[in-house]
Chains A and B, each alone.
Chain A
Amino acid sequence: MSGTRELVRLALRRDRVFLPGWLAFLAGAVVLTGSSYSSLYATHGSRREVVEGLGSTPATLALYGRIYSDSVGGLTAWRVLGIAVALAGLMSFLVVVRHTRADEESGRTELLGAGAVDRRAPLAAALIVAVGAGVALGVLVAAGLIAIGLPVAGSLAVGAAFLATGAMFAAVGALAAQVAVFGRSANAIAGAVLGAAYLVRAIGDAGPHRLSWLSPLGWCQQLRPYAGERWWLLALAAALVVPLVAAAFVLLDRRDLGAGIVAPRPGPPAAAPSLRSPLALAWRLQRGPLAVWVASFAIVGVALGSLANDIGSVIGDSRAVRDALAKIGGQHGLADAYLATSMSAFGLIAAVYAVQAILRLRAEETGGHAEALLATGVSRTRWTLSHAAIAAAGTLAILAAAGLSAGGAHALQTSNATQLGRVLAAALVQAPAAWILGAVGLALFGLAPRLTAAAWALIALCLLLGQLGPVLDLGRALLDASPFTHVPKLPGGAFTAAPASLTAVAAAFGAAGVAALRRRDLG
């Protein structure tokens, strides 16, 4: 297809930061997990404890899947084939949508399509780049695991799992990009497919195991690295990729440029009386994504909350696991420790929401919308605070959704209504830490708008500190740099004044951002 090669090069040029960043993050996380497990679980006995304890609780079964081998490799594969593989799928469809539907929406495809470029070339190029990134990730992962001394076949299988997931979700992204008219909605569709695949696998691994076979993410685990690899499962992945890609090309051939399968509907000819302030506009722009966040937090909250009460009975008397959980959660009650761990995970993910919501300001600026708005009687401060208010309240709302659903499920299981309030408080107490990251995003937006993406890197850093900090015995000062370190370990732990000081820090960052924004050029 003429033009494909040039488009591949264009995509690589545009993604020169995004792709290497993702690859380094994912491959690094996998190899770090492998090497820390090699030292942490050096003895067979310690590994048996993991398999029989932590590895068989419904919560970890749901989060990470089942353990198929008690070797170091087996534990590593178990730990990374749950979440890291799903992140590879995320990367993959983001790349495809970014270079297909998002470009089509912005009109860039039209510009290119008028040249000597086949109409199928953009999709072909996007798929080549996404699958190519999957190959690169697979090679990095396999080579890294082999390098730290894990068996070759199993390491190759882990790499193959990353590649297969990348390819499958590139295909999902390709199809979603044909169905939806907006890049954002194509990402939402592909994201929903990924979320459903994860959920189906989680439920299957925690309960009726056959269900896991319905999920492409389940296949990756059934590849069973380091546990008698079942290579034929890769053919299953290919059998999914080929028809999806073929369908995407068929749909592409049958539609007009810019059109989707779902046609846009007309809307109201006049604005509702309520649409009369920057806050109302910010709400209008942000309510859709917020609703998706609330729903996802509620669903995952129910899933995690309903498992809490079983934690004790599953783990039984395994002292090691009690200690391990207590180390993370710092609690005595196992259910409380489990809930506290879950809520701090929600807190970190809520920071992703907070940053995304606040960076809508930057998107409004670069998209030219801010110019039109600020030429009316709206001040910069008022405009900024509108989006900041949505981001702050939205963070509370999604955490409340997680707390209410997890707390409600836990209260039903334990027939103890007070659990609802305890878990809700545990969720809400995360908000100030998430606000800080959002506020840092706001400060960057005011001071160095080109560097706003650094806010994402900070979230990744907090994730790494939270995950690896206790395991690697990092210095106190380093751990204290993450706001999440200071969040009270609720339920069960002592409530401290930290949320108040964290809120003050967030307010200070936010104020710095607003003050800086009043001084810089905009538009």
Chain B
Amino acid sequence: MMPTIEIKDLVKTFGATRALDGLDLSVAEGEAHGFLGPNGAGKSTTIRILLGLYRADSGTARLLGGDPWRDATSLHRRIAYMPGDVTLWPNLTGGEVIDLLGRLRGGLDARRRARLIERFELDPTKKGRTYSKGNRQKVALVAALASDADLLILDEPTSGLDPLMEQVFRGCIREERDRGRTVLLSSHILGEVEALCDRVTIVRKGRTIESGTLDELRHLTRTTVEAEVTRTPDLDGLAHVVQAHGRRVRLEVDSAHLQPALERLTAAGVRSLISRPPTLEELFLRHYGDDERDA
């Protein structure tokens, strides 16, 4: 089956800046895909190319079987987009903006609109400029979610929402996923991506550095093991010892070394053992860390 989004070796430069430098991204139909990366990594540029707002210098981008630049208008009827920086027309009310954007996309479901406004506790009678950042985002979210689009593209949708609204948002996205819609979620909130996404792509400096299911990514990286031992274990070359306080040790072990490392720990006399997979945050920080070392 053709992926909903298929990007290969995408390059986009702005003057001397190389915003995208061979980026790859593949999103299958019906999946929720997390799109991660530090600020300036090229996430929003990629999304703008997918929306046909920017034209790629080289590489290929396919969206819902079409060309995002050439077929922009017809593709957009099947996409709901929420920009990262939501700006509303100052003299239009939130309700008017929701209706307008929905109609321009080819119609919106009045019942869903009403339900979403209620769930997000949005006042649709306020004028654009009087909304706070979080409320502006709610307007854009309701506009995007009330549509009947096949693909949702959300660029940092919850950066201004409070924790309660964040929960409402997660509930909505789960429902969309269950209805078979595809979601591309660019986010900085890793817990959110972990909770919602089947697969993730991590980008840095305009390139894709990791892509896969969370399980696959975890497999690629180290597991954290904390143990209380009776003797100091010999772990040379097998694990990275993060902390060692007397008989308590904390290690980070590559998946490939997990078996021998545990054997040596056992040999040292294990009294207690906690092992947990890396969080997305740890995955992410590792790449951030690389970023800083490069700098």
Query: Is B25 an interface position by the 8 A CB rule?
Result: no
Query: Is B168 an interface position by the 8 A CB rule?
Result: no
User: What class of interface size applies to chain B in its complex with A?
Assistant: 35 or more
Bound Cα distance A474, B85 (Å) = 51
- Interface pair B54/A519, CB less than 8 Å apart: no
Centre residue among A288, A374, A379 by max chain B CB count within 10 A: A374
- Interface pair B99/A264, CB less than 8 Å apart: no
Contact of B127 among A105, A267, A272, A374 (CB under 8 A): A267
Is the contact region of chain A dominated by helix, strand, or loop, or is it mixed? Answer: loop
Contact of B99 among A270, A367, A375, A378 (CB under 8 A): A270
Query: Is A333 an interface position by the 8 A CB rule?
Result: no
Bound Cα distance A174, B167 (Å) = 45
Query: Contacts A182-B90, A375-B51, A523-B54: A270 and B101 contacting too (C-beta < 8 A)?
Result: no
Bound Cα distance A523, B103 (Å) = 22
Centre residue among B74, B85, B104, B153 by max chain A CB count within 10 A: B104
Query: Is A369 an interface position by the 8 A CB rule?
Result: yes
Which chain A residues (234-277) contact chain B, with CB distance < 8 Å?
A: 264, 266-272, 275-277
Query: Is A313 an interface position by the 8 A CB rule?
Result: no
- Interface pair B85/A368, CB less than 8 Å apart: yes
- Interface pair A374/B100, CB less than 8 Å apart: no
Bound Cα distance A267, B90 (Å) = 12
Interface string of B71-114 (1 = CB under 8 A from A): 01110110101010111111111011111110111100000000
Question: Looking across the interface, which residue of chain A has its beta carbon closest to that of B95?
Answer: A269
Interface string of B224-267 (1 = CB under 8 A from A): 00000000000000000000000000000000000000000000
- Chain B residues lying within 8 Å of A377, measured Cβ to Cβ, are 73-74, 76-77, 104-106
Centre residue among A105, A277, A368 by max chain B CB count within 10 A: A368
Query: Is B48 an interface position by the 8 A CB rule?
Result: yes
Number of interface residues of A (CB under 8 A): 37
Contact of A285 among B87, B89, B105 (CB under 8 A): B89
Query: Is A521 an interface position by the 8 A CB rule?
Result: yes
- Chain B residues lying within 8 Å of A375, measured Cβ to Cβ, are 51, 53, 76, 79, 81, 83, 153
- Chain B residues lying within 8 Å of A379, measured Cβ to Cβ, are 72-73
Tell me the smallest distance from the CB of A102 to a CB of chain B, in Å.
Answer: 12
Question: Looking across the interface, which residue of chain A has its beta carbon closest to that of B126?
Answer: A266
Interface string of B44-85 (1 = CB under 8 A from A): 000010011111000000000000000011101101010101
Bound Cα distance A269, B110 (Å) = 13
Bound Cα distance A276, B130 (Å) = 23
- Chain B residues lying within 8 Å of A520, measured Cβ to Cβ, are 55
Tell me the smallest distance from the CB of B141 to a CB of chain A, in Å.
Answer: 12
Interface string of A347-379 (1 = CB under 8 A from B): 000000000000000000001110111111111
Query: Contacts A264-B127, A374-B51, A375-B51: A276 and B85 contacting too (C-beta < 8 A)?
Result: no
Contact of A376 among B48, B89, B96, B105 (CB under 8 A): B105
- Chain B residues lying within 8 Å of A371, measured Cβ to Cβ, are 48, 51, 53, 83
- Interface pair A281/B124, CB less than 8 Å apart: no
Query: Is A278 an interface position by the 8 A CB rule?
Result: yes
- Interface pair B104/A376, CB less than 8 Å apart: yes
Query: Is A13 an interface position by the 8 A CB rule?
Result: no
- Chain A residues lying within 8 Å of B184, measured Cβ to Cβ, are none
Query: Contacts A268-B93, A268-B125, A523-B54: A276 and B87 contacting too (C-beta < 8 A)?
Result: no
- Chain B residues lying within 8 Å of A479, measured Cβ to Cβ, are none
A-B contacts besides A278-B104, A284-B91, 13 pairs, CB < 8 Å: A181-B129, A267-B96, A270-B95, A285-B89, A368-B87, A369-B89, A375-B53, A376-B76, A376-B101, A377-B77, A378-B73, A379-B73, A521-B54
Chain A to chain B: the 3 pairs with minimum beta-carbon distance, closest first: A271-B99, A267-B93, A375-B81
Binding site for A on B (CB under 8 A): 48, 51-55, 72-74, 76-77, 79, 81, 83, 85-93, 95-101, 103-106, 123-127, 129-130, 140, 153
